[in-house]
Amino acid sequence: MTVTDLPSASGGADEPLLDLLSGFIVELRNAGLPVSLTENLDAMEAVTHIPIEDREAFKYALGATLVKNHSHWRAFEVVFEVYFSLRGPEYEIVDGDPSAPLSDDDDQDPQMPGQGGQQGGGGGGMSALTPEQLAEMLFKALLQGDDAMLRALARQAVMRYAGMEPGRPVGGTYYLYRTLRNLDLDGMLDRLMEATREDAPAELTPLEERLERDEFDDRMDRLKQEVEAEIRRRLVADRGVEAMAKTLRKPLPEDVDFMHASREEMANLRKAIYPLTRKLAVRLARKRRHGRKGPLDFRNTMRHSLSYGGVPAEPKFRFPRPAKPEIMVVADISGSVAAFARFTLHLVYAISSQFSKVRSFVFIDGLDEVTRFFEGVEDIGEAVHRVNTEADVVWVDGHSDYGHAFGVFWEKYGKDVGPKTTVLILGDARNNYHASQSWIVKEIEHRARKVFWLNPEPRAYWDTGDSIVGEYGTWCEGVYEVRNLRQLEAFVEKLV
């Protein structure tokens, strides 16, 4: 990445900024964002027009040139914060001296002595305040929605409570937790609501109350963000930009591993799945309509030739109408792979118009048909939730037993598998050393159009321990590693 010998377009910016930018872009690429060379050059040019001092505008300028997918915006923001958080006068660290003893570990002692030597930052002599006074100021700031005050207080709180020590190998979340615990925000919401109730001229209707609560929730979220940002700034100052960016690096939503997603990542995944299904449905419908051209449609051509005086000037083709497959999803929903099954079911049902029929079965060691939960339901998320809570899938002990589940499937529903049926089996094939009964998969394969196995485990773990995916896989048309939304999307597209 040579940035120093760029065309003259970027000549106006000073070298340090360009260095910073090139580091920034390298980090974006490391985080998985596809930044092309032209986009890089655009960004370099953009920053010559927008001063770095106007931080918001600067951020959006970089975003507009570098991030072309909204789901990547969050990742971009994090990297931006890390790289540019120490830029601009009002964003400097207030106490300027990270080695000052910030970490009075004595939460028991409320009369913490002020740690002199800090000025400015909107909070004048804030360090002299007692924790009670600080809490009181925070309460007022939240009540009035005073953003500047909130920011100053967030800084003060981090300085006081986070107990950050230079060089200590602790993640930002630890400091965040410590700071927030000391601020006692849960109690704060009740107090705020009470104060609002008292101030109101008349009694609040439940609607008003709800709105007030949402408002305070919002303000407290902002406070949390401020605290987080402050902690991040301090960590960056302590550890340096690259190291910090590396620790904060998170997979993009489409690359999040189903099996190891955190709660927050799960929530993001759920949000991502709706637009994904919509896009997929549009794309598939289009593909169906505009697919390859079929053979010449003689009748149609002749009919149209009449308008050219009998000359067949406009050949007409018969469009192939491929039969829509019938889908049977057989999903393991035991703990480790439940999330994966959930997303796949969601996706399959969201595009069910592409299939002539969808039936779904879930199992752990017993097996249950769950098609009924999806019938006539608009809200697929709700149906998937019901599958997880209501389906009858435990036979003996609630540990995966593929062999038995397949046995039940074959016995009860085997006759429904026909030459038009495509069977999808979802699971990690960790059979807890039960009998595999793989002959059933063979029989299904015999009868069905196709059998696919989707495994949410990384390929390297297949056939290790009690995983017997290889044994089942011999009878399947294909076994696919589907660890994230990207792979799932790719598979579904292939399926249709």
Binding site for other proteins (CB under 8 A): 9, 34, 36, 38-39, 42, 45-46, 49-50, 54, 56-57, 60-61, 63-65, 67-70, 73, 205-207, 210-211, 214-215, 218, 275, 278-279, 282-283, 286, 290, 378-379, 381
Contact 82, 248 (CB under 8 A): yes
Report the nearest approach of other proteins to the CB of residue 55 (Å): 9
Report the nearest approach of other proteins to the CB of residue 48 (Å): 9
> Is residue 286 exposed (0-12), middle (13-18) or buried (19+ Cβ within 10 Å)?
exposed
Which pair of tokens denotes residue 472?
A: 């089942």
Contact 347, 270 (CB under 8 A): no
Contact 25, 40 (CB under 8 A): yes
Report the nearest approach of other proteins to the CB of residue 397 (Å): 34
Pick 107 or 208: Cβ nearer other proteins: 208
Pick 46 or 348: Cβ nearer other proteins: 46
Pick 276 or 338: Cβ nearer other proteins: 276
DSSP codes joined into one string, 312-360:
--S--BPPP-PPPPEEEEEEE-SGGGHHHHHHHHHHHHHTGGGSSEEEE
Contact 231, 175 (CB under 8 A): yes
Report the nearest approach of other proteins to the CB of residue 240 (Å): 29
Report the nearest approach of other proteins to the CB of residue 348 (Å): 18
Give the separation between CA 87 and CA 102, rounded to whole angstroms. 23
Which pair of tokens denotes residue 495?
A: 């399926």
Report the nearest approach of other proteins to the CB of residue 353 (Å): 15
Contact 453, 480 (CB under 8 A): yes
Pick 210 or 246: Cβ nearer other proteins: 210
432-450 b/e (C-beta count within 10 Å ≥ 16 → b): eebebbbebbeebbeebbe
Give the separation between CA 109 and CA 124, rounded to whole angstroms. 23
- What is the residue whose two structure tokens read 């449905």? 281
Report the nearest approach of other proteins to the CB of residue 217 (Å): 9
- 3-state SS, 439-478, equals HHHHHHHHHCCEEEEEECCCHHHCCCCCECHHHHHCCCCE
What end-to-end distance do the CA atoms of the chain give, in Å? 41
Pick 57 or 306: Cβ nearer other proteins: 57
Residue 268 neighbours by CB distance under 10 Å: 18
Pick 150 or 451: Cβ nearer other proteins: 150
Pick 39 or 457: Cβ nearer other proteins: 39
Report the nearest approach of other proteins to the CB of residue 235 (Å): 26
Pick 140 or 279: Cβ nearer other proteins: 279
- What is the residue whose two structure tokens read 């399926």? 495
Report the nearest approach of other proteins to the CB of residue 212 (Å): 9
Task: Read off the DSSP letter of residue 102.
Answer: -
Pick 25 or 469: Cβ nearer other proteins: 25
Pick 65 or 85: Cβ nearer other proteins: 65
